[in-house]
Amino acid sequence: MSALAPGSRLCVNDGARGVDPVSERAQEAYDDSGAVPYNPRTVEETTSIFDVPHLVGPGVLPAHRWCPEPGPPAPKDVAEHGGPARKR
């Protein structure tokens, strides 16, 4: 955040670890395929990217819960989370 001008916003979304075992197995199979490995982060690791006082509420959440569509909620969390921050 230090390189951004005051008033700037930054949004980070990343694959989530520890949310969905099916997604984690798929990620392990991808990593084992010889492709460039991808390392999903835990919610705590994603939150640590931000200067926490600058996080815009409600903070780091599963991606589909940040601005939910009208209607019934999703049956389970997706293996992606993120959140925005604003530089003061």
The sheet carrying 80-86 orders its strands as: 9-15, 80-86, 61-62
Give the residue extent of every domain in the chain.
Answer: 9-86
Predicted model pTM: 0.70
Q: What are the E-state strand segments in the chain?
A: 9-15, 61-62, 80-86
Q: Are 40 and 79 in contact (CB under 8 A)?
A: yes
pLDDT in tens, the chain (88 residues): 678 888 898 888 888 888 888 989 999 999 999 999 988 888 888 888 876 678 888 888 888 887 767 777 777 778 888 888 888 8
Structure tokens at 48: 């640590």
